Structure 1
Amino acid sequence: MAVACWAVGISGQELERLGITDHGGPAGRRGDRGVQEPGAGRTILLLHGLMGRGSTWAPHVGWLRQYGHVYTLDAAWHRGRDWADPQAGPAPADTMEAGGDAEPEGDVEPEGDALHTERFVADAAAALEAVGGGPAVVIGHSMGGLHAWCLAAARPDLVEAVVVEDMAPDFYGWTTGPWDAWFQSWPEEFTREQATGMFGEVAGRYFLDSFDRTADGWRLHGRIHVWQSIAQHWGTRTYWRQWSQVRCPALLIEAGFTMTPEGQMRRMADEDRGPGAVTRYVRVADAGHLVQADAPDEYRGAVEAFLSEPAPGPA
């Protein structure tokens, strides 16, 4: 895959507003105010899953920096329990300061298409434009994988390759209903023991890496009913069309104990997406949905092999 680099200045305040964390490039190089230095290689953008956060990529940032300048993006409604959407408009009357306007509080509910896939894809595009454009390698887990390939379809100028971890295009008709009672059983705050007891060792550590830290433990870094609504939207449509429109190379990593509908990722791999749109497919037999955490060595091996492949030649 072709290597490109850019040098664009962006303030730390703007990075924070967009939910971006700059992890630097090879050997940790980064310029002042987020300026990508010459020689830092390609841009790599990491997108987390539905209940994750950019910080869950921490175990992989170090080796990924050997391949480019790494950024993580915290999706909207995954940036802390009290985060307020700047696109939400004015707050309800009871959250306004007397005699003047105020920023929307964290309890302002998202409306309309604010939780649709297109919103998150637009945010990812804005992140890449802010740090210097593309084309970038976009690596996503679950929800982040969906956003990665939808971004590649919508903005091919920004994406040179995608990695999709355990996500499929068609959840039509699915709902979060079977898990609702379980979600409602979650405590307001978690101790480490509660998290590992409820989710297991691997997923427990993953969640604690995502959650907000409190004086006594950890709490959710967003609102679970909002996350449920994001997933519910997937059940109203399919994303095969967007996948067929991706014209760049792609790596698909499926968990042996996948959460995706049977056979869909294999079908994605078999689809002819056009010249240069090579697809690599890896199934990690003993891993659960969090392949990056459950089988980190296998995950790294698959991604490194993919990133090391030469760029496809002209058609």
Structure 2
Amino acid sequence: MSLQSEKIFEGADERMKRHFYQADGVELSYVDFGGPSERTLVALHGHFGTATMFAQLARAIQGWRLVALDQRGHGWSAHVDERAYSRETYRNDLHVLIEKELGGMPVVLLGHSLGGVNAYQFAAHYPNLVKALIIEDIGAEVADDQNWVKRLLARVPSIRELRQSLECILGAGAFSYFEESVVEYPDGWTVRFDAEGIIHSQEYLNGSWWEDWLASSCPALLMQGERSPILSWELAQRMAKKRPNTSLLQFPECGHTIRNGDPDGYFDAVNRFLHAFT
């Protein structure tokens, strides 16, 4: 288990539990943070993320149960063949989670980056299972490159060296995003995500997804970081204008991960949006 995951589970509410399930022979994991309601928010992290990244959100939202998935190749879910990081496989993982693990009732989907595309594409294919969408800083057009992970050493002797390696590649402060994926093995420190697989996952993710973005009509909240290198304000405005029933919020001074840049603003926006369903 990662360092942050250990801390989270040590002090966790007894309702918070990790579960495993199978989707087309792939073992996947999710964390059920519990909550006082049958209303369920399903959270999907971005590339390099984990389900436990949403622990603070679980404590911040009011009157909702939060379930967060370790998407394939991440956290405690299995690494797979490069071809198994397609758009369809991510959607199927989520379909099995909602239908088989959560009882098939409609949910609100929240997704960051990779998770955001997975969320709105799922809504396009399974509208009867999605009440609403919360999309954090990802567009209907995606173009990115994750080949930098090839420079990441497989094992290093200390967590300090792992931090230095990541920040040498990505810049100061980058380690905080990856901290919950950090794990120690007998032969050194590394990260749990499938580095090589994420390169292929990004290749499948790149493209124009306007048809999927516009295919659903449920309420949607699109959040954009003012300093995001991933989603421009111009594209976010076009997305909100073209899709009915869509609200748009920009977060000043924030980059791609809004919940880290402005956690209070992020939690408030999510709570306000969810309040419409209470």
1:303 is matched with: 270
More strand by share: 2
The answer as to 2:58 corresponding to 1:58 is no
Equivalences for residues 98-247 of structure 1 within 5 A: 109-111=81-83, 114-129=84-99, 130-171=101-142, 174=143, 176=145, 180=147, 182-189=148-155, 191-194=158-161, 196-197=163-164, 198=167, 199=170, 203-214=174-185, 218-235=189-206, 237-247=207-217
1:259 corresponds in structure 2 to 229
Aligned to 1:75: 71
CA distance, structure 2, for counterparts of residue 308 and residue 201 of structure 1: 37
Letter in 2 for 1:68: W
Q: Aligned partners of 2:243, 2:144: CA distance in 1, in Å? A: 30
> Aligned-pair distance for 1:13?
4.9
2-structure distance, mates of 1:307, 1:13: 27
Give secondary structure in 2 for the equivalent of 1:258. Answer: coil
> Are the aligned partners of 1:255 and 1:287 in contact in 2 as well (CA < 8 Å)?
yes
SS at match of 1:157: helix
Q: Is the 8 A contact 1:203 1:290 kept in 2?
A: no
Q: 1:23 aligns with which of 27, 33, 52?
A: 33
Q: Where does residue 253 of structure 2 map in the other structure?
A: 286
Figure out how many residues of one structure are paired with residues of the other and give that number. Answer: 251
Q: Which has the larger radius of gyration?
A: 1
> 1:261–1:253: structure 2 CA closer, same or farther, 3 Å change rule?
closer
Output the CA distance in 2 between the equivalents of 1:175 and 1:167: 11
More helix by share: 2
**Displacement of 1:67 after TM fit?**
3.0
Percent identity, aligned pairs only?
A: 27
CA distance in 1, matches of 2:149, 2:63: 38
Distance (Å, rounded) in 2 between the aligned partners of 1:133 and 1:142? 25
Gaps of 5+ in 2: 1-17
Q: Is the 8 A contact 1:160 1:249 kept in 2?
A: yes
- The structural deviation recorded for 1:50 is 1.1
The alpha carbon displacement at 1:253 in A equals 0.7
Deviation at 1:201, TM superposition (A): 6.6
> What is the CA–CA distance in structure 2 between the aligned matches of 1:202 and 1:57, rounded to whole Å?
19
Q: Assess, with a 3 A threshold, how the Cα gap between structure 1 residues 132 and 145 changes in structure 2: closer, same or farther.
A: same
Q: CA 1:204 to 1:151, structure 2 compared with 1: closer, same or farther past 3 Å?
A: same
Describe the superposition over 1:172-210 as per-residue Cα deviations: whole angstroms up to 9, x where unpaired: xx452xx63x43332223644445540567542221112
Is the 2:82–2:200 contact (alpha carbons within 8 Å) kept by the matching residues of 1?
no
Q: Which amino acid aligns with 2:237?
A: R
Change (3 A) 1:264 1:133: same
CA distances 1:203-247 after superposition (whole Å, capped 9, x unpaired): 422211123343586412122121011111233x31100111111
SS in 2 for 1:18: strand
Q: Distance in 2 between matches of 1:239 and 1:168?
A: 8
Q: Tell me which amino acid in the other structure corresponds to 1:70.
A: L
Rounded Cα–Cα distance in structure 2 between residues aligned with 1:59 and 1:202 = 19
**Residues 208, 310 of structure 1: alpha-carbon distance in 2 compared, 3 angstrom cutoff:** closer
8 Å Cα contact 1:202-1:293 kept in structure 2: no
1:5 matched residue in structure 2? none
One-letter amino acid matched to 1:110: E
| TM-score, normalised relative to structure 1 | 0.72
Q: Are the aligned partners of 2:79 and 2:197 in contact in 1 as well (CA < 8 Å)?
A: no
Superposition deviation, residue 80 in structure 1: 4.7
Tell me which residue corresponds to 2:21: 14
Letter of the aligned partner of 2:82 in structure 1?
P
